Amino acid sequence: MTRYLLTRLGQALVIVILVTLITFVILHLLPGGAARAILGKEATLQQIAAFNHEMGYDRPLWEQYALYLRRLAQGDLGYSFQLNQSVGEAILQRLPKTMLLSLASTLLAVLIAVPLGVVQAVRRNRWPDYTINALALLAYATPIFFLGLLMIILFSQVWPVLPPEAPQGFTLADVLADPAGLVLPILSLTILTVAVYSRYIRSSMVDNLNENYVRTARSKGLSETRVIIGHTLRNGLFPVITLLGMYLPALFSGALVVERLFNYPGMGLLFWQAALKRDYPILLGVTLLISVATVAGALIADVLYAAADPRVRLKAGRS
């Protein structure tokens, strides 16, 4: 198991470095450049050249990347001239708000998707299965920005029961002071996540219902409820554990659109505004954080899956 963890940690480190390299190269190949975005359209060529020399942007690309990695190893994510603050401070101010949005939507989605997936598996190839599957496909195929706009129209215009804009505030406490404003953003992310999770749970439950241990449990006279909840559901949730870690990039991309749509002051809105202003340090910092979170989520999911499933634990011990 220790060798398995060390191997996975090594793979995770390589992936994070590759992500930073690809993002760094792509951002520096974009037209315009950071100097023009920071100094403005009226800046002269001499001013731009002086800025690039001071910031090291006139050095070879490999040298710039090596310098970036050295600063990164020291915990320095860079400085945003657009925000006039360090990248670390900008991320720390907005990260708790995005975590609130993502964790709340994920928790709510799991609480809804698990019963739906179980019902689909138990009533498979019947009208409950067909109905839930059709609704899940419809939700999954609907663009999240369209879903958010639709809920704004329905619940803020047609039936004005919820505000169309997310809570505005500098701290997490300020955001939590207006819970009504969080309903539509969280609901937008939840609907999409439920559509994904319910299909995975249904597929996993159907596979487990055909296993021999389920037939053995039924032959012993156990009730169907105990067989489903006590045995099948516990094993059927293993793939969902992995999915929770691997779904982080999709969750952030959804949060980016939702935060922009509802003007929610989180990481997604920060990334959106940085892209419009060509704020390269912010773009690099957010991309690095998301890649680290994704790799860490996948690693934790693998460890939990290996610890819960003896077959995976045995395979890890042999490798």
Q: Which of 25, 56, 87 is the last residue of a domain?
A: 87
Which residues make beta-bridge pairs with 32?
Answer: none
The reported pLDDT for the residue numbered 60 is 82
| Residue-wise pLDDT tens digits, 223-277 | 878 888 877 887 777 777 777 766 766 677 778 888 889 999 888 889 888 888 8
Rounded to whole angstroms, how far apart are CA atoms 168 and 173?
10
Compute the average pLDDT of residues 72-90. Answer: 85
Higher pLDDT residue, 184 or 24?
Answer: 184
Task: From residue 292, give the alpha-carbon distance in Å to each of 13, 81, 297.
Answer: 9, 24, 8
AA identity, residue 1 = M
DSSP string, 188-220: HHHHHHHHHHHHHHHHHHHHHHTSHHHHHHHHT
Q: Contact at 8 Å (CB) between 90 and 301?
A: no
Compute the average pLDDT of residues 62-69. Answer: 85
AA identity, residue 239 = P
Checking if the pLDDT of 301 tops 80, the result is no
Rounded to whole angstroms, how far apart are CA atoms 165 and 185?
9
| Residue-wise pLDDT tens digits, 124-149 | 888 988 999 899 889 888 888 899 99
The reported pLDDT for the residue numbered 316 is 47
102 and 226 housed in the same domain: yes
190 and 304 housed in the same domain: yes
Q: How confident is the model at residue 314 (pLDDT cuts 50, 70, 90)?
A: very low
Buried b (16+ CB within 10 A) or exposed e, 116-136: bbbbbbbeeeeeebeebbeeb
| Residue-wise pLDDT tens digits, 150-203 | 999 999 989 989 998 888 888 888 888 888 989 999 999 899 888 888 888 888
30 and 142 housed in the same domain: no
The region of weakest confidence among 27-41, 65-79, 199-213, 287-301 is: 27-41
Q: Which of 87, 115, 140 is the last residue of a domain?
A: 87
Higher pLDDT residue, 301 or 7?
Answer: 7
pTM: 0.80
Q: What three-state secondary structure class fits 41?
A: coil
Is the Cα torsion angle 19, 277, 93, 183 positive or negative in sign? negative
Would you say residue 4 lies in a domain?
no
Compute the average pLDDT of residues 74-84. Answer: 84
What domain range is 170 assigned to?
95-318
Residue 319: Cβ within 10 Å count: 9
The reported pLDDT for the residue numbered 31 is 67
Higher pLDDT residue, 69 or 253?
Answer: 69
291 and 196 housed in the same domain: yes
The count of domains in the chain is 2
Buried b (16+ CB within 10 A) or exposed e, 2-23: eebeeebeeebeeebeebbeeb
Q: Which of 46, 65, 87 is the last residue of a domain?
A: 87
Would you say residue 102 lies in a domain?
yes
Rounded to whole angstroms, how far apart are CA atoms 269 and 92?
14
With vertex at residue 93, the alpha carbon angle to CA 87 and CA 94, rounded to the nearest 5 degrees, is 95
Contacts of 307 (CB under 8 A, 6+ apart): 313
Which residues make beta-bridge pairs with 79?
Answer: 86
Compute the average pLDDT of residues 54-77. Answer: 83
